[in-house]
Amino acid sequence: MSKPPCYFQLETPGQVAALAALEPTSGKREEFRCHVLLQLGTIHKVGTRRPKEGVLESPVTAMRELRRRAKTAQRMADSLEEQSCASLRSPFFTLPEPPAKELRQYAQDLREQADTLQKVSPRSGGHRIHQQTIEIMWLVAHVEQETGSPHWKRLAVLIQAATGDASFNEDRLRKMVKYHRKKYHDDNKRTRHTAKGHDGTS
């Protein structure tokens, strides 16, 4: 049985008015407002939930853990190979071949998974971004695309309600979006430049 949609509940006349002022160019007002309320519900949820034990919900956390385990496996493989080079000799037993090759392959698989996750996640290069910020950025982009304007002031009212952060305002929202869009653009530009260098092109 699927869970019901998590719509954020607006509580004040100011919040209701802010949502009502967002007018989609498609004319599909109710559908658009449902999407906004759903996204506000997501923003609220990711900001208040506690991570489940053993579950890596953040892409950054998952990448770190994959790379950490890859390094551990690599060190174990190196250690086993060193022991193999100085293996014990005895007429009473024969040492089996250590699984160094398998451990190296395991480490490589973990690194490849981390690389794949890095490519598809909202983080590029050195740009790290909190999950709630990702959801806010998505909402701003969605509203801007559907209405033709980012509606900074009205969105700030709605996001302030969803985050529960009374200090969240229009100026902060503008700066947040400007900062992360610039970082994402710069990191992507740097990544493309590095890729060209590896290909031997200029």
Q: How confident is the prediction for the chain on average, in pLDDT?
A: 79
Percent of the chain with pLDDT over 70: 70
Q: Is the pLDDT of residue 127 over 90?
A: no
Cα dihedral 40, 32, 168, 17 in deg (nearest 10): -110
Please indicate whether residue 117 or residue 177 has the higher confidence score (pLDDT). Answer: 177
Give the pLDDT confidence score for residue 154 in this predicted structure: 97
Please, which pLDDT band fits residue 9 given cuts at 50, 70 and 90? very high
74-96 mean pLDDT: 73
pTM passes above 0.75: no
pLDDT for the residue 171: 96
Residue type, 113: Q
Q: Decide: 37 and 7 in contact? Cβ < 8 Å.
A: yes
Structure confidence at residue 52 (pLDDT): 56
Q: How far, in Å, CA of 15 to CA of 161, rounded?
A: 8
In the DSSP assignment, the letter for residue 97 is P
Token output for 169: 């305002």
**How do residues 15-57 score in pLDDT, each as one tens digit?**
999 999 999 999 999 999 999 999 999 999 888 765 555 555 5
Tens of pLDDT, residue by residue over 83-93, are 766 556 666 66
User: 3-state DSSP call for residue 52?
Assistant: coil
Q: 3-12, 14-23, 169-178: which range is least confident on average? A: 3-12
What local confidence, expressed as pLDDT, does residue 12 receive? 95
CA distance 153 to 169: 8
- Residue pair 186/174 in contact (Cβ under 8 Å)? The answer is no
CA distance 17 to 132: 24
pLDDT grade for 124, boundaries at 50, 70 and 90:
very low
Phi, psi at residue 88, to the nearest 5°? -70, 145
